[in-house]
Amino acid sequence: MKFRLSVIISVLALIAVAALAGRHYWTMVQGDRQEAAIGGPFTLINSEGETVTDADFRGKIMLVYFGYTYCPDVCPTSLTAVAEALDMLGEDAKEFAPIFITVDPERDTPEAMGDYAAAFHPQLVGLTGTVEQVAAAAKAYRVYFAKVQEEGDDPEDYLMDHSAYIYVMDRDGKYVAHFPHGTDPGEMAKKLLELL
């Protein structure tokens, strides 16, 4: 009896370890049901100055990234990776709606967002809004952002600290997964194909 119990405990421990390892992997790739609260409704302004909501993207798999056009490094790198991944998907790219939401609505006008987004990929949608609209969207996606200003600098001359995840939302707008900054575009394309 004692022997059997120890075997059972060992087997259970192995299953637990395997489950944890698997869970860690899938959190990156496929998401975790407990993270299902990421995302939600948003109301923002597109490059034409029109109001758009998350509901306008239903039926497409959204790739949502928050950043700002003055970003010196991180945003261009992430958006380039998204653009390259989409290009690798060929025709399947049309199943996705890549969306770039500014965390700097004071400087990022609708027009600036449109021009900036178009420079990365023809499908990329740039969205801005009022300070309140942007804050609400960022909160829904649990995105951190903060203005960083050096004392004595021009008030217009500041950086934005921001989290840099690419959120993958399914055709119903529900969270599926997120890619951390620095994800290889080929890897991204592979995971995105698995969602089709």
Instruction: Summarize as ranges the residues that interact with Ni ion (CB under 5 A).
Output: 67, 71, 74-75
Q: How far is the CB of 47 from Ni ion (least distance, A)?
A: 19
For the CB of residue 68, give the shortest distance to Ni ion in the complex, in Å. 6
In terms of Cα–Cα distance, which of 138, 122, 133, 146 is closest to 66?
138
Residue 10, Cβ density class (10 Å: 0-12 exposed, 13-18 middle, ≥19 buried): exposed
Cα 122 to its chain centre, rounded Å, is 18
The residue sitting closest to Ni ion, measured at its beta carbon, is 71
CB of 73 to Ni ion, least distance (A): 7
Q: Give the HSE-up count for residue 189: Cα atoms under 13 Å, Cβ half-sphere.
A: 17
Q: 44 vs 160, which CB is nearer to Ni ion?
A: 160
154 DSSP 8-state letter? -
Nearer to Ni ion among residue 67 and residue 114 (C-beta): 67
Nearer Cβ to Ni ion, position 60 or 178? Answer: 178
**Could you tell me the smallest distance in angstroms from the CB atom of residue 77 to Ni ion?**
9
For helices 185-194 and 74-89, the axis angle rounded to 10 degrees is 50
- Measured from the CB atom, the residue of 39 and 67 that comes closer to Ni ion is 67
